[in-house]
Structure 1
């Protein structure tokens, strides 16, 4: 019998968690979501995978992930959900796998432009991820359009062409932005646990056009991505 590693998947909201759980249930025979105890949070356990909807933003994500990590041991923590994709690398409906998780707005404005806390000398703004190559290959083998590159964590979602240009210039190869990854990564690092960020694209980063968003399609792709993951190898 295969001994599966234990995974903690952290989303922002319950619909994202539900999409993840549908994929996990499809991938792992006899795995059905059941509630598990986690003070202050609703945690669902599906076989070796715990799924937590921790709230929106890096602080909520860090608090939820740290609470779960303090009470249980995990082999991998995954920040997941839907995201904005940077065209043309990450079109609507595609999966994005972070090769690094970057806090895009953690720093200071200076006369010379934005400076990260790392450049200012008192902190970090990026985390390397584990298994991004393996996961990318498996998702592509399953027929999912998949992009790999930096995924940005922002506290304010991008809503203008100027901001989009600024981010793509500061972060070459960036594929997506979301609001929780760096918080999850900070919690994982504090507990010595590997981290990954896996999302699906619901909208293009840039001027806000709600009519063009494809949230339902992104949830479907999120389920498909978690149905295709190589769980036994995610150690």
Structure 2
């Protein structure tokens, strides 16, 4: 929270937050929890919905497009002289059973690129083992704890993949490599990379719509997950508005 002096009085302003979802229906589920009037802002490469101090974008599916869209919004804000204080990646996700059941809310304490690397005869090597880049981003841990306390969310690792898991064997492999993993989605690490390039912290919040494993579309509960996302953001928004990024 920024402290400003206006006409001899101390005033406070809420941190500026960019919320990036993959698709419009997720963005709309977040917006449903917010009470401020919405304003549509067209930016190069992405359309932004402004509601109070939260800006919402549907950044696209997958880490590459999500990173590009988030970078557009971050750069536009920086050039405008009003940079963001926090980026939140939000949406629905697959949950690792039984720890993250359908309908539960997960807040990441670690955002991990689970399939960024090389497959070798001896198994998977993350890109860091090849001497390049990074494979994880850590959100501000005090904020993670505040969000979890306010929303009742589970706390653990959220994996980012470019190919969604569709088999029990793949789910078991991922869980073996990442035993603290609670959820799998496709955008968090990309959004985090864009935020890191601007020196902005990141948070990821996911509502579980289906178990990670064999694809069974009939068993997915997307409506329930979107409802959980709306309810979660109703409790999360006050935490973000009062958060002090200093």
TM range (shorter): over 0.9
Structure 1 equivalent of residue 136 of structure 2: 126
- What is the deviation of 1:173? 1.4
Quick check: 1:167 aligned with 2:177?
no
Q: Is the Cα contact below 8 Å between 1:159 and 1:207 reproduced in 2?
A: yes
Distance 1:81 1:57 in 2: 12
> Is residue 2:162 matched to residue 1:155?
yes
2:4 aligned partner: none
1:97 counterpart = 2:102:
no
Rounded to whole Å, the distance in 1 between the matches of 2:188 and 2:241 is 23
Give 1:98 deviation, angstroms: 0.3
Aligned length: 225
More strand by share: 2
SS of aligned partner of 1:156: coil
Contact 1:2–1:232 (CA<8 Å) still a contact in 2? Answer: no
Deviations 1:117-153 (A, max 9, x none): 101111110000122111001102xxxxx21100000
Q: Deviations over 1:89-115 (max 9, x none)?
A: 110011010001000000001121000
Question: What does residue 233 of structure 1 align with?
Answer: 242
Mark the structure with the bigger radius of gyration.
2
4+ residue runs over 4 A deviation? none
Residue 56 of structure 1: aligned partner:
61
Paired position in structure 2 for 1:7: 17
Task: Kindly state the Cα deviation for residue 176 of structure 1 after the two structures are TM-superposed.
Answer: 0.2
Offset of residue 40 of structure 1: 2.2
Check conservation: 2:46, 2:73, Cα contact below 8 A.
Answer: no
2:157 alignment partner, SS class: strand
Give the alignment partner of residue 124 of structure 2, picking from 95, 109, 114: 114
Question: Which residue in 2 is equivalent to 1:143?
Answer: none
Give how far 1:231 is off.
2.3
Q: Is the 8 A contact 1:200 1:221 kept in 2?
A: yes
**Whole-Å Cα distance in 1 between the matches of residues 150 and 98 of structure 2?**
22
Indicate the residue corresponding to 2:187 in structure 1: 180
- Indicate conservation of the 8 Å contact 1:103/1:125, yes or no: yes
The structural deviation recorded for 1:37 is 2.7
1:2: how far off? 5.0
Q: Which runs of 5+ in 1 are unaligned?
A: 26-30, 141-145
